A and B are shown apart, each in its own frame.
Chain A
Amino acid sequence: MIFFKRQLPLLITGIMGVAFALQYYIPHPVSEEAITHISKWMQIISGFALVLGLASLFQVHAVKIKRQVPGWGYSVILYLAMLVTMAVGLFWSKGETTMNGAQTGFGWIYSYTMVPLQATMFSILAFFIASAAYRAFRARTREAAVLLVAAVIVMMGRVPLGQFLLPWTWDVTQWLLNVVNSAVRRAILIGVSMGAVALSLKIILGYERSYLGGGKDQ
């Protein structure tokens, strides 16, 4: 059994990792046909992730309701919302948001509950950011003071009122974004990318095995 649980997945990972790293550099029709098929397989496998996610969500909240943990009422609401949406979508709307130019029940739930709810959740952030900035954005150290000054300049330079009152903030903002910010972001990106390459090599060569999961056979 250890062969199916450990050696076979490692072998498949190693072979596929090397094959598809090389495939990028081989524009032969066979190689192109292979990537076409594999990408389709990968799409199908990604589709299953949705089903898994849904099953996991149902399970987590079922446990919360069963044990009546604090806030279990929200889990009931989540269950109801999911079941009602699925029922309306599958049985009354046949999975369509519009039918013959008219909005279906499923489309109505999407347009008039999900869209405004998500937009509201995100817009509430503006209030919390303002409150947090007031309490936490203090020039306690020199570094914090530099960050504070840069933030104030960028906030002014990125809006018409700031550009109108202090026109120089526009040029300084452009310089901060294009030079200072780009240099720092580039350094972070290079670091992250090198880490990703190292991790990929460790997975392909079989040194990194945590993706196989735990268990006594590991």
Chain B
Amino acid sequence: MKEFARWMVSIDRRIIFLLIALATLLPLLHPFGLPIKVSPEVRGVYDYIESLPEGSVFLLSLDFDPSSKPELEPQAIALLRHAFRKQLRVIGMTHWLPGTGLADSIFSKVATEMKRESGKDYVFLGWSPGTGSLVISMGQDLYKAFPSDYAKKPTLGMPVLEGVRNLRDVTYLISLAAGNPGIEMWYVFGKDKYRFEMGGGSTGVMAPGLYPFLRSGQINGLIGGLQGAAEYETLIGQKGTAVAGMDAQSADHFVIIALVLLCNVFYFVLRGDKGRLA
């Protein structure tokens, strides 16, 4: 038994890699489609957007780069679909320079799908340097911060921005963040001074760190990781890549749990052989 335990503890890591690969691939090829439960955190964002009147100004800041695409792109797509369906005026931007092209493609893709027009129904402002100072600049005068949009069209006079002078005229802002600059930065430099309502979305790793902001009401909802995106897709009734990916994530979690439990069983079997443990 001890020999087997010793062999298992020092198992070739490529076997673990293979198990994870299978746990990811098989559910993607043969999904088992379990129901998605919606958390109050995600419902907070959905309910607030649902309560907004037509024509309200919704700013979506896609603060991530391609490395977080699998988790945050489905969140962005679901939020945009919801906002466009509710006939909100959408302003898009990013604080992450490497994510600008990705953010632009997300906006273009969903706008085409929902038959929305750039400049009239939405505008993608792109990226500008400064992070915190950019937010202050937008809070003072949006047109000085972004004289033109990502497609180099002048922002002043755009129908989508009618009546919008600065961040005080934004009804709701959501930052989908993979780190800093992101939700905290938007709160500190933006919401605290310019008084708009704010929600957040983040990668699964970051989400637990944002719960104090949620509990204190500094953000009114939080979409966490792929699970959060799947919950939002369920709420809007339009399933996408997040719901499809949750089966793979379920299987991966179970493989990791099984590995951790096995490792502990072998650890207890070998507890006496301290010097011989790997």
Contact = CB atoms under 8 A, between A and B. Distances in A.
A199 interface: no
A35 B131 contact: no
A1 interface: no
A131 B140 contact: no
B124 to A, nearest CB: 12
Contact of B144 (A40, A156, A178): A40
A123 interface: yes
A95 to B, nearest CB: 10
Contacts of A126: 20, 24, 252
Contact of A170 (B37, B129, B250, B267): B37
Does more than half of chain B's interface fall in helix, strand or loop, or is it mixed?
helix
B17 A127 contact: yes
Contacts of A50: 97, 129
Contacts of B104: 97
A71 to B, nearest CB: 22
B51 interface: no
Contacts of A182: 211-212, 214-215
Does more than half of chain A's interface fall in helix, strand or loop, or is it mixed?
helix
Interface in A139-190: 139-140, 148, 151-152, 155-156, 158-164, 170, 174, 177-178, 181-182, 185-186, 189
B251 A39 contact: no
B34 A164 contact: yes
Nearest to A24: B193
Contacts of A3: none
Given A35-B140, A162-B253, A119 B67 contact: yes
Given A40-B144, A111-B105, A148-B264, A46 B129 contact: yes
A138 B66 contact: no
A30 interface: no
Contacts of B193: 24
Interface of A: 24, 32, 35-36, 38-40, 42-44, 46-47, 49-50, 97, 107, 110-111, 114-119, 121-123, 126-127, 129-131, 133-135, 137-140, 148, 151-152, 155-156, 158-164, 170, 174, 177-178, 181-182, 185-186, 189
